[in-house]
Amino acid sequence: MQQFIDILKSTIDSTVDKSIETIATGGRIVIPSQALSIGVQEYQAPGTQIHVHFFVEFGKGSSAQTSEACISSFGPTAHEDCAHRFALQVLPLFLSLRAGRAVSGAIHIDHANRLIPGVHGFIGPIWRLGDKSTDVSEVPFFAGVPTPHPPSSNILILAKSILMGAAGRWELTNEINGHEYTFRINSLSFGAESPSKLSISTLFALYFFPKNT
């Protein structure tokens, strides 16, 4: 596991603001200036696939909470890929929340946003694998999350969307706080035909509900 921690630290150091100091200690990555601590747990899936759970502790003292993000990859560079996607898609959400504005490629959303109406927070960039011929800018990535929103153990909610297309069908999976909740739409329609070859797009969001909602 220490080897992956070293890969993750190196990736974060080369991806985010160079002024942000990261420390590898006790099997975790600590970013003191951001009140962030990142732990990992790796699972070996069949073949060369790996599945990594990232546990992000945000805040200090009694107000700290831990959010979970799951990222999978395969092949000889699977560890580097998982680390890169975390640094690109997930970490900027927490850095943005700490800064109070969108940083490192994140996008701010408010209660009027169309993806998860009623919430405030940030979404990260879309990561794509396989066929990329379809325009996914209008995909309702979190359409599987029910209304009202399921209760969560955290005030801050970290959600993941996985859009998978192949053989004429789009499938959408939404995960809340790791695997606290999972919702699926087996046949999603958003105005674009599914490609004949496999297409995967993922998107993360970090958000909360204002107290008056």
Q: Kindly report the length of the chain.
A: 213
The one-letter amino acid at 169? R
Q: How many Cβ atoms are within 10 Å of 148's Cβ, its own excluded?
A: 7
Q: Which has the closest alpha carbon to 109: 91, 97, 127, 99? A: 97
pLDDT bracket for residue 212 (50, 70, 90): low
Q: What is the pLDDT of residue 63?
A: 85
Q: Are strands 181-185 and 120-123 parallel, antiparallel or unpaired?
A: unpaired
Contact 19/41 with Cβ under 8 angstroms? Answer: no
DSSP β-bridge partners for residue 44:
50
- What is the mean pLDDT of the segment spanning 22-49? 89
Instruction: Tell me the average pLDDT across 182-191.
Output: 92
For the chain, percent of residues with pLDDT exceeding 90: 69
Average pLDDT over residues 41-68: 87
Q: What are the pLDDT digits (tens) for 96-144? A: 999 999 999 999 999 889 899 899 999 999 999 999 999 998 899 999 9
Its pTM stands at 0.93
Q: How many CB atoms lie within 10 A of CB 51?
A: 16
- DSSP line for 123-191: E---EEEE---S--TT--TTTTS-SSPPP-S-SSEEEEEEEEEETTEEEEEEEETTTTEEEEESS--SS
Whole-angstrom Cα Rg for the chain? 17
Predicted confidence at residue 210, as pLDDT, reads 86
- A 10 A CB-CB count for 139 gives 22
pLDDT value at 47 more than 70: no
How many other CB atoms are there within 10 angstroms of residue 149's CB atom?
18
Domain ranges of the chain: 2-99, 107-208
Arithmetic mean of pLDDT, 72-96: 94
Pick 2-99's CATH classification: 1.10.10, 3.30.160, 3.40.50, 2.60.120: 3.30.160
Query: Which tokens belong to 83?
Result: 């680390």
What per-residue confidence (pLDDT) applies to 182?
95
| Three-state secondary structure call for residue 42 | strand
